[in-house]
């Protein structure tokens, strides 16, 4: 079945970086855009950016420009999200989420997100 399995919880100090992985299975990894979304404790969903797993092209929310890097390794069907210069307000659950339809059907990452990872808790604390 189609699923996304994320790496485990992380505890980081302010100023450090964190890299979260998202391993895809059950479908053609390079055929579907992948988004990253985060949710701070008690808060709403916040879109961070997307990556085209085929080309490696990315687009980030302005808020995270310069601090976030999204990459992928097609050989192991895994997407990564690295956030640097961590602050306490980066404490959140980070999700990867696959778009609903194949890149050929809906281009430019316009689609909704129908498959989600289980979430990775990142805690930033001194």
Binding residues for another protein (CB under 8 A): 35, 37, 44-47, 49-50, 59, 61-62, 95, 97, 100, 108-114, 116-119
Contacts of residue 85, defined as CB under 8 A and 6 or more positions apart, other chains included, come to 15, 17, 67
Measured from the CB atom, the residue of 18 and 48 that comes closer to another protein is 48
Cβ 4 to another protein, closest distance in Å?
A: 9
Could you tell me the CA-to-CA distances from 49 to 1, 24, 125 in Å, in that order? 25, 18, 24
Cβ 8 to another protein, closest distance in Å?
A: 16
Task: Count how many residues are written for the chain.
Answer: 126
Cβ 59 to another protein, closest distance in Å?
A: 5
Measured from the CB atom, the residue of 30 and 58 that comes closer to another protein is 58
DSSP secondary structure, 84-106, as one string: -S--GGG-EEEEEEEESS-TTTS
């Amino acid at each position: 079945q189609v699923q996304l399995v994320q790496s485990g919880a992380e505890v980081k100090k302010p100023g450090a970086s964190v890299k979260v992985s998202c391993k895809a299975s059950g479908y053609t990894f390079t055929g579907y855009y992948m988004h990253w979304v985060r949710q701070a404790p008690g808060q709403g969903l916040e879109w961070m950016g997307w990556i085209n797993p085929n080309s490696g092209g990315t687009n980030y929310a302005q808020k995270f420009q310069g601090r976030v890097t999204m990459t992928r390794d097609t050989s192991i069907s895994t997407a990564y999200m690295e956030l640097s210069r961590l602050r306490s307000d980066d404490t959140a659950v980070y999700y990867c989420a696959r778009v609903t339809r194949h890149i050929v059907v809906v281009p430019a990452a316009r689609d909704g997100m129908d498959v989600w990872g289980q979430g990775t808790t990142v805690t930033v604390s001194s």
